[in-house]
Amino acid sequence: MIEGAKWKKWVWFYLPLGAFVFSLLFPFYWMAVTTVRPDGELYRPWNHPLYSPFWTAHPTFDHIKNLVQETLFNQWMWNTMLIAAAATLISLVCGVFAGYALARLKFRYAGLLGTAIFITYLVPQTLLFIPLADIIREYRLGDTPWALILTYPTFLIPFCTWLMMGYFKTIPKELEECARIDGAARWQAMIYIIFPIAVPGILSAGIFAFTLSWNEFIYALVFLSSPEQKTVPVGVVSELIRGDVFFWGPLMAGALIGSIPVAIVYSFFVEYYVTGMTGSVKG
Amino acid sequence: MTAAKRSRILEREDALAFWLLFPTLALLMLFIAYPFVRGVWLSLTNSTVGEPGHFIGLANFAKIFDDSIFRTAAINTFVYTGVTTVFKLALGLWLALLLNRHFRGKSWVRAFILLPFIIPTVLSTLAWKWMFDPTFSVFNWLFWKLSIINSRINWLGDPDLAMASISLVNIWRGVPFYAISLLAGLQTISPDLHEAAAIDGANRWQRFWFVTWPLLLPVTMVVVLFSIIQTFADFQLVYVLTGGGPANATQLFATYAYQIGIGTGLLSEGAAISLAMFPALLLVVVFQLWYIRKVENR
């Protein structure tokens, strides 16, 4: 019976879990293998006798060298970093303030405003990109980082607000009341007592916002036009694919290296990230 | 205004609330509410890039509803959203149930499986595009080695297969999100309930169906509705894999709006195509708000 149970555990647990992990991670492995594969091996058809999918006999850094030296990849990395950091910072400040007001303060229309912000959270970028492109052009922000630094907060703030609102609600009101009795002003209690306690929540929101900015595509595609202004996702897609010609080596190297900043931030703060993600849907 | 007076004003909760909410509301008005109004207006004119145009009523909408590509895009979007949502939910729930057990290396597994969700979609989609390449595809190699196929499969070039291929990538990207969110929901369910049900003689399936599922439903609903909105408005995945082709077989609302509005420069028509998503999105949002209210008031 015990033997049978062990067999069952393999079939019902380890096998499916292994299959999930394998299929979810395989594309990244494929990305990495392609990055170090020399061109001669790369362009071998699938029914070629020497097609060796899972390893390479002659690993090379040529594609990475090519990417870094021959393209504007470094510039794209800096652009993305700057835009993601600035948009995250703006969204955090706005989201923390707004979340606090909606969670803690009594004022007219509080419920209505909360609902309105929740609705904007659900507005996808693809709904508004055409009129926004028009507006960006009008304000002469087109083809500058500001076009993205100012528009990314529109999908980051609602999310940060929503997350922080939930977080502030878990902090006992008594803490502020104590500070008030000791003579602190309303805003002092907020900044010196509540915000420091909310740091884990702020971290979650910040990490999530950063990865979302790094991931954004359509605004960056539409609002930026010159190659040296582009972000990593747009730069890799538009500059490394020429018509029908795909430079697969550099493309995969770009995809791999372009993912690293996000992966690093994520690996340091997995727990906060998961809190942010689950908080973002649960509210 | 003196500092003392200023801080006295901030003692009033509504004044403080106003100043705290001001930056958020200003940004959202400027870059969401205003563009929305602009978008509606744009869709009622005949503007193109560099040409302001004038009011033409609902002519753009009449035109796109008459357009067979638009109708294809609409049907595709609904199919794409429906099919991927069912698979994402089923597989995500399965994975969440697996992860809800105790095993060694659990935190590592949980951290790694989220990668498809956090790595920028365009970049991971490029890896998929390479895996789908008709001449160099690793899938073709695998099926060929397994003696399932003899000639190549054109994953993204065949109209029927292309839709299946983009759906597969969307499911791949979405499953971790479902799994981790549902896992968080599962972890709030007290094991005592399961024990009680087991003592009462409920088998594994009954325990899932009568204990776990009802308690998990609120989280599931929120996750599903959220994901429906994202999938319905999807753009980048299709843009990279097929660009809407072959022969519009994978054209979605968003890719078609981009093609017409930005590609061809017919701003007003593109805006109208984008806005055609709005009624369906609104319906989902209203339902979601209603559902959250209902759960909160229970």
Q: Does residue A196 sit in the same domain as residue A56? A: no
Output Rg (C-alpha) for chain A, integer angstroms. 24
* Nearest residue of chain A to residue B51 (CA atoms): A134
Nearest-CB residue to A255 (from B113, B123, B181)? B123
Q: Does residue A164 sit in the same domain as residue A47? A: no
Query: pLDDT of A169-186, one tens digit each?
Result: 888 888 888 888 888 888
Put simply, the answer to whether A47 touches B141 (Cβ < 8 Å) is yes
Q: Does residue A125 sit in the same domain as residue A52? A: no
Per residue of chain B (298 residues), give pLDDT as tens. Answer: 566 666 666 678 888 888 999 999 999 999 999 999 999 999 999 888 777 788 888 888 999 999 999 999 999 999 999 999 999 999 999 999 999 988 888 888 988 999 999 999 999 999 999 999 888 888 888 888 787 777 778 888 888 899 999 999 999 999 999 999 999 889 888 888 888 888 888 888 888 898 889 989 988 998 999 899 999 999 999 999 998 879 899 999 999 999 999 988 889 999 999 999 999 999 999 998 898 888 877 7
Q: Does residue A261 sit in the same domain as residue A176? A: yes
Stated as kind and residue range, the H or E segment containing B95 is helix B68-99
Put simply, the answer to whether B101 touches A100 (Cβ < 8 Å) is no
Q: Does residue A76 sit in the same domain as residue A214? A: yes
Quick one: pLDDT at residue B127?
93
Q: Cα–Cα distance between B225 and B233 in angstroms, integer?
A: 13
Q: Does residue A44 sit in the same domain as residue A68? A: no
The amino acid sitting at B89 is: L
Instruction: Give domain status of residue B16, yes or no.
Output: no
Minimal CA separation from A199 to chain B, in Å: 18
Domain that holds residue A35: 2-60
Burial B4-38 (b: 16+ CB within 10 A, else e): eeeeeebeeeeebbbebbebbbebbeebbbebbeb
Nearest-CB residue to A131 (from B112, B271, B289)? B271
Q: Is B195 exposed, middle or buried (0-12, 13-18, 19+ CB in 10 A)?
A: exposed
Average pLDDT over residues A152-158: 93
Q: What is the ipTM of this complex?
A: 0.90
pLDDT at A86 over 80: yes
Token pair, residue B91, equals 């597989």
Put simply, the answer to whether B121 touches A123 (Cβ < 8 Å) is no
Nearest-CB residue to A27 (from B11, B31, B131)? B131
A217 contact residues in B (CB cutoff 8 A) = 120-122, 235-236, 239
Instruction: Give domain status of residue B288, yes or no.
Output: yes
Quick one: pLDDT at residue A182?
85
Which residue from A115, A103, A95 is spatially nearest to A210, judged by alpha carbons? A95
Put simply, the answer to whether B233 touches A125 (Cβ < 8 Å) is yes
Quick one: pLDDT at residue B50?
74
A11 contact residues in B (CB cutoff 8 A) = none
Instruction: Give domain status of residue B262, yes or no.
Output: yes
Pairing type for strands A245-246 and A241-242 reads: antiparallel
Q: Which of A60, A87, A102 is the last residue of a domain?
A: A60
Q: Which of A60, A77, A93 is the last residue of a domain?
A: A60
Give the three-class secondary structure for A47: coil
Domain that holds residue B76: 33-296
Minimal CA separation from B97 to chain A, in Å: 10
Domain of A180, CATH number, reads: 1.10.3720.10
Q: Does residue A210 sit in the same domain as residue A103? A: yes
Minimal CA separation from B285 to chain A, in Å: 7
* Nearest residue of chain B to residue A106 (CA atoms): B13
Q: Does residue A102 sit in the same domain as residue A123? A: yes
Cα torsion angle, A257, A262, A264, A266, sign: negative
Domain of B172, CATH number, reads: 1.10.3720.10
Minimal CA separation from B62 to chain A, in Å: 19
Number of structural domains in chain B: 1
Give the three-class secondary structure for A241: strand
Average pLDDT over residues A21-38: 91
Cα torsion angle, A158, A161, A163, A166, sign: negative
Query: pLDDT of B111-150, one tens digit each?
Result: 899 999 999 999 999 999 999 988 888 888 888 878 777 7
Instruction: Give domain status of residue B132, yes or no.
Output: yes
Instruction: Give domain status of residue B90, yes or no.
Output: yes
Number of structural domains in chain A: 2
Which residue from B270, B229, B64 is spatially nearest to A222, judged by alpha carbons? B270
Quick one: pLDDT at residue B252?
95
A161 contact residues in B (CB cutoff 8 A) = 24
Instruction: Give domain status of residue B9, yes or no.
Output: no
Instruction: Give domain status of residue B61, yes or no.
Output: yes
Q: Does residue A45 sit in the same domain as residue A179? A: no
pLDDT at A200 over 60: yes
Q: What is the pTM of this model?
A: 0.91
Q: Bigger pLDDT: A241 or A19?
A: A19
CA distances from A233 to A250, B37, B120 (A): 13, 29, 7
Count the neighbouring beta carbons within 10 Å of the beta carbon of residue B64.
Answer: 23
A21 contact residues in B (CB cutoff 8 A) = 109, 112-113
Distance between alpha carbon B156 and the CA centroid of its chain, in Å? 21
Average pLDDT over residues A220-235: 93
Quick one: pLDDT at residue A283?
46
Q: Does residue A159 sit in the same domain as residue A182? A: yes
Mutate to test the interface with A, among B28, B115, B123, B234 (most CBs of A within 10 A): B123
Quick one: pLDDT at residue B26?
93
Quick one: pLDDT at residue A1?
40
Q: Does residue A98 sit in the same domain as residue A37? A: no
Q: Does residue A193 sit in the same domain as residue A100? A: yes
With a pLDDT cut of 70, the percent of chain A lying above it is 96
B123 contact residues in A (CB cutoff 8 A) = 232-233, 236, 254-256, 258-259
Instruction: Give domain status of residue B49, yes or no.
Output: yes
Q: Answer left, alpha or beta for residue B251, where phi above 0 means left and psi between -120 and 50 means alpha.
A: beta
Put simply, the answer to whether A237 touches B18 (Cβ < 8 Å) is no
Quick one: pLDDT at residue B83?
97
Minimal CA separation from B212 to chain A, in Å: 17
